[in-house]
Structure 1
Amino acid sequence: MTAPATTRQATDVTALSVETTPLDDVRQLIPFIDAHHPLLWIRKGEGIAGIGEALRLEFSGPDRISDASAAWRATVEAARVTDAVATPGSGLVAFGTFAFADESAATSTLIVPEIVIGRRGSTSWITRIRPLTQPDSAEGSASSAAPALPRPTAFGDEYRLTLLPGRLGKDGYRQAVTAAVARIREHDLSKAVLARDLRGHLPLESDIRRALVELALGYPECWTFAVDGLVGSSPETLVRVHHGTVTARVLAGTISRGTDAASDHDAAVTLASSTKDQQEHRFAVASVLDALRPHSADLDASDLPFTLKLPNLWHLATDVAGTLSDGASSLDLADALHPTAAVAGTPTPDALALIRELEPFDRGRYAGPVGWVGGDGDGEWAIALRCAQLDSGGDLTAYAGAGIVADSDPERELAETTMKFRPIVEAFG
């Protein structure tokens, strides 16, 4: 692969050549991606996989998402695109991941791969991307005699990773929840989401694709992702834009699955009738509707949430849908939505202040937007949940949080975070 071009400013634009051609049906995307630096976005076996880096854009600070949106528009305007497939995810695309907090030390990134392999329904495709200043090569040119599809590679050796308490252990988390409940009862604060962390170290040269396969197979209804070392399977769609339609799925309120059919049904009923969880869910839905209404005149959401079944737990869920009325891109909407009440709290500024006070770590990209954006502004963005960040030295940090309201019980909230750690613990363990 060629060396990636890098820029941090919208005014410093790299012009790209982009060519998408159809492929015979590609059933598995994960075997094609890099074992140590994977780029992936799939759900139910469909999505996109990236190889290499043609362009990396980096951002930070309170305007990181709006800066990324402006830089992406400039990149799109300068690109020369040939797209014979014309489906969401074909043509020019970038994978993205953004820090949760304005003051985070974590870099927010958009990455344009050298090669994108995609699958949606019965359609598969390959996109090759290079800087216009870089000449065609025998390997990189779609018109050359080179194979249309890179070779998949065998998975590396199996490994097992033990995740241990990080900066905020179980006792510390109980204390933080207790402090948050007291603050909520004493002040004009309705909800705050508090997270804790687990940490581990991956063996040298571990194949991250093994964990991604476990996540994709174990949680097919979730968005399984890998972007710049952030890996996970998120059940929550922050925003999705396809051909002028905007959709979102709001999750807030959680209970563990039952051990048999009867207890599982009882768990779902308990969640649906829980005053605490219904209250938490209303806050989350309201924050999404308030953020999207300026961009959609016909925004609609169901009156009552439904129970969403995942392999290890039930969620209260509400789907939101509407038609875009102002030409906003998926990145613009991610900027408008972040952070939602589902991952921050209500009112948001007060909740963020309490999170900074009670969480003894930088969340990094946990609970920030993760997904992809296309050249036409379409895209799919999830909230980075059920995830872990892997650094270049092999250190891995996983995060899980729970929404705290006035009648929260510290032991129950701790148990909820344990449930939410399960996808990552089992994928790497």
Structure 2
Amino acid sequence: MKLAVTAPDRLSVRTVPVPDPGDLIARLPHPAALAWIRHGEGIVGWGEAARLTLPGGTDRFAAAEHHLRELFAAAAVDDPIALPGTGPVAFGSFGFDPKSPDSTLIIPRRILGRRNGTAWLTTIGGDTDPHTHTNPPHTPAHLQWTDGALPEHAWKNTVAAAVHRIRQGHLGKVVLARDLNARADTPIDARTLLHRLATRFPGCYTFSCAGLVGATPELLIRRTGEHIESLVLAGTTARGTGPADDHARAQHLFTSAKDREEHRYAADMVRDALTPLCADLTIPTEPELLTLPNLTHLASPVRGHLDTDRSVLDVVAALHPTPAVCGTPTDIAMDLIRELEGMDRGRYAGPVGWVDARGDGEWGIALRCAEIDGTRARLFAGCGIVADSDPDAELAEARTKFRAMQYALHG
């Protein structure tokens, strides 16, 4: 499949300041929503001025960057605000596997944003927009649940098989994912899921792009000029039943040799990937605890400055896939995922986010998410497997990770 570009010869872009729009998600007029929200700030979009559909291949990030650069360079842009996310913006999500063709970037006709007290509206193209009339969101009803590629007992066997490979010395870590299917009586509205996720998980990055909806805790990369930030997450426990249990679980996670090993693989890879791109890079010597409403993670915040003018997509290309979603060594872990999971992940665990014409942007890893297609939703959860992993414990962790999207669908 070749790269497909649907776009006019020249984009006409105008950004204007607007009064505070309040809840950004509530302003989305149609279920075909584009969104990137955290703590109520960010950007949402609707309509479609241009779309890039990318084939598989290790060069898909470079191809996306090249074609977006051409579109943005040819655009007539009136942007007096000039903040990250103003002017033309492409929302995107990439397939996890380089062999996957499931990568899409969309430049919407309307982009509404808010950052640090400044709000704006960007209009791309003429006034004709099929999604300007508000279509109120609706709630999924009468959900039916079925197993995905593997039922629970079979998935535990794949975990055991992966542990055996690791103990034989073939690799250090592999991330194995499960999927779960839901079906509703009526088409599932992304805006309902976004609202529930943003309300319950305000500290996560709530996203929607081409039917992929979720709330990820993991910031793969943020680029603001020469400054970059990332957040490495690996090592997870469920929240406790009360304060004492919660504290005990968090301390056990923090001192767990198994979880520390899993986190070290991820942090070391991010360091190795970013160091050649940066004039300076700061990564803590040991992780901290990141507490979410349903989970606690080991986390390492990363900060640095790029040594040359690189787009955020250039940095995404250097980072994906991280050991937090694939394993290490990367090539061996990827081959084992293809062998054992029994499914195509699609865009689950791939990069998701946005990029503007300056090369600024924010990209996360598509975790705690679902692929929405009409009345159907396909949910995903993954677990990092190392030599000390226990199949029953990993299955319990996957069940916990499913709950964010199960809540989004159920309410």
Normalising by the residue count of structure 1, what TM-score does the alignment of the two structures yield?
Answer: 0.91
- SS of the residue corresponding to residue 422 of structure 1 reads helix
Q: Pick from 170, 187, 199: which aligns with 1:188?
A: 170
- SS of the residue corresponding to residue 64 of structure 2 reads helix
**What is the Cα-based RMSD across aligned positions, in Å?**
1.9
**Pairs aligned (count):** 407
Q: Residue 97 in 1 paired to residue 93 in 2?
A: yes
Q: Distance in 1 between matches of 2:217 and 2:42?
A: 15
Match of 2:76 in 1: 80
Letter aligned with residue 399 of structure 2: T
Query: Alignment identity in percent?
Result: 48
Deviation at 1:210, TM superposition (A): 1.2
Match of 1:269 in 2: 251
Match of 2:353 in 1: 371
Q: Pick from 143, 148, 151: which aligns with 1:161?
A: 143
Deviations 1:1-21 (A, max 9, x none): xxxxxx936899732111000
Deviations 1:217-250 (A, max 9, x none): 0100100001000000000001000121011000
Q: In 1, are the aligned partners of 2:253 and 2:259 still within 8 Å (CA)?
A: yes
Q: In 1, are the aligned partners of 2:381 and 2:402 still within 8 Å (CA)?
A: yes
Deviations 1:47-90 (A, max 9, x none): 11101000001102112111101111111111111112211111
Match of 1:421 in 2: 402
Match of 1:4 in 2: none
Deviation at 1:299, TM superposition (A): 0.7
Deviation at 1:371, TM superposition (A): 0.3
Match of 1:287 in 2: 269
Q: In 2, are the aligned partners of 1:234 and 1:382 still within 8 Å (CA)?
A: yes
Structure 1: 4+ residue segments shifted above 6 A: 10-13
Q: Distance in 2 between matches of 1:65 and 1:161?
A: 36
Q: Residue 402 in 1 paired to residue 383 in 2?
A: yes
Ranges in structure 1 where 5+ consecutive residues have no aligned partner = 1-6, 131-135, 141-148
Deviation at 1:372, TM superposition (A): 0.2
Deviations 1:271-328 (A, max 9, x none): 0000000000000011111111111121111111001000001000000000111211
Q: Distance in 2 between matches of 1:229 and 1:297?
A: 37
Deviations 1:166-201 (A, max 9, x none): 111110111000000000011330000000110012
Letter aligned with residue 394 of structure 2: E
Deviation at 1:153, TM superposition (A): 4.8
Match of 1:146 in 2: none
Q: In 1, are the aligned partners of 2:352 and 2:364 still within 8 Å (CA)?
A: yes
Letter aligned with residue 278 of structure 2: S
- SS of the residue corresponding to residue 331 of structure 1 reads helix
Q: Distance in 1 between matches of 2:132 and 2:378?
A: 32
Q: In 1, are the aligned partners of 2:270 and 2:319 still within 8 Å (CA)?
A: yes
Letter aligned with residue 41 of structure 2: E
Q: Distance in 2 between matches of 1:51 and 1:11?
A: 16
Q: In 2, are the aligned partners of 1:13 and 1:78 still within 8 Å (CA)?
A: no
Q: In 2, are the aligned partners of 1:245 and 1:322 still within 8 Å (CA)?
A: yes
CA 1:13 to 1:337, structure 2 compared with 1: closer, same or farther past 3 Å? farther
Q: In 2, are the aligned partners of 1:58 and 1:110 still within 8 Å (CA)?
A: yes
Alignment map for 1:4-403 (pairs within 5 Å): 8=3, 14-62=9-57, 63-104=59-100, 106-130=101-125, 136-137=126-127, 153-157=135-139, 159-391=141-373, 393-403=374-384
Q: Distance in 2 between matches of 1:113 and 1:414?
A: 39
CA 1:23 to 1:61, structure 2 compared with 1: closer, same or farther past 3 Å? same
- SS of the residue corresponding to residue 298 of structure 1 reads strand
CA 1:13 to 1:324, structure 2 compared with 1: closer, same or farther past 3 Å? farther
Q: In 2, are the aligned partners of 1:40 and 1:50 still within 8 Å (CA)?
A: yes
Deviations 1:328-370 (A, max 9, x none): 1111111111000000001000000100100110000000000
CA 1:409 to 1:158, structure 2 compared with 1: closer, same or farther past 3 Å? closer
Q: Distance in 2 between matches of 1:268 and 1:313?
A: 9
- SS of the residue corresponding to residue 366 of structure 1 reads coil
Q: In 2, are the aligned partners of 1:196 and 1:400 still within 8 Å (CA)?
A: yes
Letter aligned with residue 42 of structure 1: I
Q: Distance in 2 between matches of 1:24 and 1:96?
A: 27
CA 1:61 to 1:154, structure 2 compared with 1: closer, same or farther past 3 Å? closer
Q: In 2, are the aligned partners of 1:388 and 1:398 still within 8 Å (CA)?
A: yes
Q: Distance in 2 between matches of 1:383 and 1:263?
A: 29
Ranges in structure 2 where 5+ consecutive residues have no aligned partner = none
Q: In 2, are the aligned partners of 1:69 and 1:332 still within 8 Å (CA)?
A: yes
